[in-house]
A and B are shown apart, each in its own frame.
Chain A
């Protein structure tokens, strides 16, 4: 394998892995903040137990999210230095802003929250978790703005002498439609993911008859959050696909395996393509729905892969402008499919919970156990789709992925670091899952309710929180 392929695999592995933890962090930060607010307002101990219990799970997850995030920021320079030279003038700015505005806020106030139970007035302690949650949101915004610029570059000019893109308007970069659409698609997805995690864990506690009082509340809260965010994900997803059709028609065509330009284009439910992915052999379609989804008009024209290929050859010169179509097609469907299944389970469980009932039936346990995993799969396939279906471009229309790789890093070096990161990440995942399962197995600990000491006191007072 060449350094290019290895660098792509390394990026895929480290990014997909990192993004397993990110949406749980964003979603749970707000949900834990919500639970603590409920405790603050009502003084009911079940909310305090929930805050502490889910807070513990949140932090186990957060640790891996943080440390794998460092790799993300350095990787551009290490494996993709030609890309970094080309885009640095624009792409670096949101990354630096993310650090200054988001990472500091998130890490500092999370530290205050974890260790501040007995050090801060109740109100300030509550504010800490909200500020940390705000930090995760800001972080998402800046990094999505940077990614959106790769999907749809705006606010720049090309400097031919220096061979790079240069920023002309930061506000355009930060407020373009793609960035906003992606943000409002990703954030509800994160809420969906965090809520599914909380719901799944709560359901398990109910099955195991542990702290039913708390678990019923958190299960309901999780399920309701899931359904609300699912609706938002759907709306923003619809909007995103329209923006995508305008800006990256090839991606939409690949997602639908639509080879020739059509009006009243059908939405494909199942396609079996030829092995090289160049045409489809068998399809089940719903008439006109694709046209509606991508243009808002049942008769709208949707461009096909082959026509776009011809168009791009004239525009950008000879080359292959088709992404991996089977991958795009299937990842797009798996993204939606896993999301739908999770939402369906949530709806079913919520229906059974009404009027104080307890969910029954053989489906409940397996459905609830699968609940935390389904959104993770949906998220991963969503990113796999949006990143691979942009290929061959790193920045659409400006620089190809193949031209972005570091020229001075050997294939051996990339292979070595790739294996090392993969092994390290694997070991960490193993440990992390073990800790999560053990935490769930232990369940909420009632004795913790009484460990919230008052402010002040002697210096030798036992610490509520220590490493």
Chain B
């Protein structure tokens, strides 16, 4: 196997990791007002993310950095081409991260309400836009060779808002919502857990419809049936149903694992449909970006392979260990003085 293929696979792994991990972060963020009835609930919900959200987001930074290092042409064309959606994603990530850290600093209701709105919107925006972006990549966008010989995106912003891509956005949005509900059901106790269960069933059915439609469309869009992609699509559907079933049976751990597996086969399937292209052009296959014409030199890929092979297992071990340390369920009753902000002046 070529080093280019190795890096294609590694980038798939990074995106899979990112969508599983930040996927439930986004879901929990969006569900915040819908699973909580009071301040203690809200703080318990956010506390499930507290120790892990930042580490989860690093998967995106590494995916971005790895794409830059391994496939600079892909990185350059994608990021300059999908300019405004990426900008909106960045704004979402900025606002969300700050909101997590700052919202409970003060107890004032208005302060907290504003940050809560920020958390919901800033979680929903990237959830939707990642789906739009990936669907566009799979569908193919107008790419053309520029005067200097580079392959550049020549469509506009509204070109990206086609029905197929929007459906993709709805899929990621609803999948992350369901995945987040599975996570909350697994990580909380008491009423939040009950509400998360109920929501996961409803959201899971909506996302199942959207995802099946999207995957059917994706498979039919290809010039010929891709057996591997089709298999992975079917697997996605099965894992998803299994997750919903496990949730229905109150097997929270299994439900979360199943939705994680569904995300894995979903993302992997889309990349398999792309391979060996990384960004197909809708203006003719001569303008496709592929793992060959977008990649770095073999030397760079070798260097990065060594780094990835040594570091990735290590990262998985210590990040996994964090989840083990914080494995206990969080319940609203454990939150001391939920109305009080850390920075509120005390009247002892």
Complex Cα distance, B152 from A445, in Å, reads 57
Complex Cα distance, B97 from A167, in Å, reads 35
Interface residue A408 (Cβ < 8 Å from any Cβ of B): yes
Interface flags for B270-312 (1: CB within 8 Å of A; 0: not) read: 0000000000000000000000000011011001100110011
Main secondary structure of the interface of A (DSSP, over half): helix
Q: Which of B72, B98, B318 contacts A108 (CB 8 A)?
A: B318
Chain A residues in 8 Å Cβ range of B98: 63-64, 67, 428, 431
Interface residue B91 (Cβ < 8 Å from any Cβ of A): yes
- Check A100–B315 contact: CB distance below 8 A: yes
Interface residue B37 (Cβ < 8 Å from any Cβ of A): no
- Check A85–B50 contact: CB distance below 8 A: no
Q: Which residue of B lies closest to A425 (CB)?
A: B94
Give min CB distance, A290 to chain B, whole Å. 39
Main secondary structure of the interface of B (DSSP, over half): helix
Query: Which of A86-94, A209-217, A225-233 sits within the interface?
Result: A86-94
Known: A73-B64, A96-B68, A466-B334. A89 touches B297 (CB 8 A): yes
Give min CB distance, B47 to chain A, whole Å. 4
Interface residue A355 (Cβ < 8 Å from any Cβ of B): no
Q: Which of A59, A60, A76 contacts B68 (CB 8 A)?
A: A76
Complex Cα distance, B342 from A442, in Å, reads 10
- Check A409–B83 contact: CB distance below 8 A: yes
Q: Which residue of B lies closest to A77 (CB)?
A: B79
Q: How many residues on the B side are at the interface (Cβ–Cβ under 8 A)? A: 86
Interface residue B325 (Cβ < 8 Å from any Cβ of A): yes
Question: 27 A-B residue contacts at CB 8 Å?
Answer: A67-B98, A70-B57, A78-B83, A78-B87, A81-B76, A81-B77, A89-B296, A89-B297, A89-B300, A90-B300, A96-B65, A96-B70, A97-B307, A100-B65, A101-B311, A103-B62, A104-B311, A111-B53, A166-B299, A166-B300, A409-B83, A435-B343, A438-B343, A442-B345, A465-B50, A466-B335, A467-B100
- Check A463–B322 contact: CB distance below 8 A: no
Q: Which of B60, B72, B328, B335 contacts A89 (CB 8 A)?
A: B72
Interface residue B203 (Cβ < 8 Å from any Cβ of A): no
- Check B329–A459 contact: CB distance below 8 A: yes
Which residues on B are within 8 Å of A, measured CB to CB? 43-44, 46-47, 49-55, 57-58, 60-62, 64-73, 75-81, 83-84, 86-87, 90-91, 93-95, 97-98, 100-105, 146, 148-150, 152-154, 296-297, 299-300, 303-304, 307-308, 311-312, 315, 318-319, 322, 325-326, 328-331, 333-336, 342-343, 345-346, 348
Which residues on A are within 8 Å of B, measured CB to CB? 56, 59-60, 63-64, 66-71, 73-74, 76-79, 81-82, 84-85, 87-93, 95-101, 103-105, 107-112, 114-116, 119-120, 163-164, 166-168, 170, 406-409, 413, 417, 420, 424, 428, 431, 435, 438-439, 442, 445, 447, 459-463, 465-467
Chain B residues in 8 Å Cβ range of A115: 47, 50-51, 326
